């Protein structure tokens, strides 16, 4: 898995490997008669035009965003498998959907990373010589960014207390504009330069956010 660039370059790889991992792991759980199996999905499984914030009831209301669809659909097959295996074999399995996580030991590779680690990497690199850092887009999209420890706690609580095959979101319950998160990351990393947005007509400095 990875960010937009990685999904565009590896649609077949991400589809096949995620489908095989999920399907075979859950089947092994059945064969070994595990007490409970916890499948971790992805919000890329949600329809492209699903209402924000995502509601679990909307997960089948349309096709995912095309860039992430192979990965998202492969992961969503565990939701189908969970319900089918519960009905036929009595396997107690869950399907949890964490949103955009961040935290220690994140992926900081600019080719494959998600929003927050990519911005941290760009700001730190800019501190070493660049006078400005750029971000594709105009800052208007919103994202939900739970801390990884909080998500781990949510997964543990679901494992202990939840016993159904319906999808369950794990998130912070609030969203932040990318246009606000970028200046905040710049401040926290000590980057004092200019933040240039695209399209070029919009330039946002740290002080303006």
Which run of H or of E encompasses 26?
helix 11-31
The answer to whether the beta carbons of residues 2 and 107 sit under 8 Å apart is yes
The answer to whether the beta carbons of residues 149 and 103 sit under 8 Å apart is yes
Catalytic residue among 71, 85, 89, 102: 71
Place of tokens 């396997």: 91
**DSSP one-letter code for 99:** -
Cis peptide before 199 (omega within 30 of 0): yes
Q: Can you give the C-alpha Rg of the chain in angstroms?
A: 19
User: Catalytic site residue 71?
Assistant: yes
Annotated catalytic sites, by residue?
A: 71
């Amino acid at each position: 898995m990875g960010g937009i660039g990685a999904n565009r370059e590896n649609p077949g790889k991400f589809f096949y490997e995620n489908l095989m991992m999920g399907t075979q792991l859950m089947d092994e759980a059945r064969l070994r008669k595990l007490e409970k199996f916890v499948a971790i999905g992805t919000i890329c499984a949600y329809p492209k035009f699903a209402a924000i914030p995502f509601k679990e009831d909307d997960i089948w209301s349309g096709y995912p965003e095309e860039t992430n669809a192979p990965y998202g659909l492969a992961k969503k097959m565990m939701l189908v498998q969970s319900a089918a295996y519960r009905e036929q074999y009595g396997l107690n399995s869950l399907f949890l959907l964490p949103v955009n996580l961040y935290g220690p030991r994140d992926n900081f590779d600019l080719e494959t990373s998600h929003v927050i680690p990519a911005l941290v990497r760009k700001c730190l690199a800019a501190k070493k010589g660049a006078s400005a850092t750029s971000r594709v887009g105009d800052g208007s999209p919103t994202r939900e960014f739970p801390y990884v420890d909080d998500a781990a706690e949510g997964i543990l609580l679901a494992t202990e207390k939840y016993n159904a095959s319906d999808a369950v979101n794990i998130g912070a319950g609030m969203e932040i504009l990318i246009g606000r998160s970028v200046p905040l990351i710049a401040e926290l990393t000590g980057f004092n330069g200019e933040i240039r947005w695209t399209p070029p007509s919009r330039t946002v400095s740290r002080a303006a956010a």
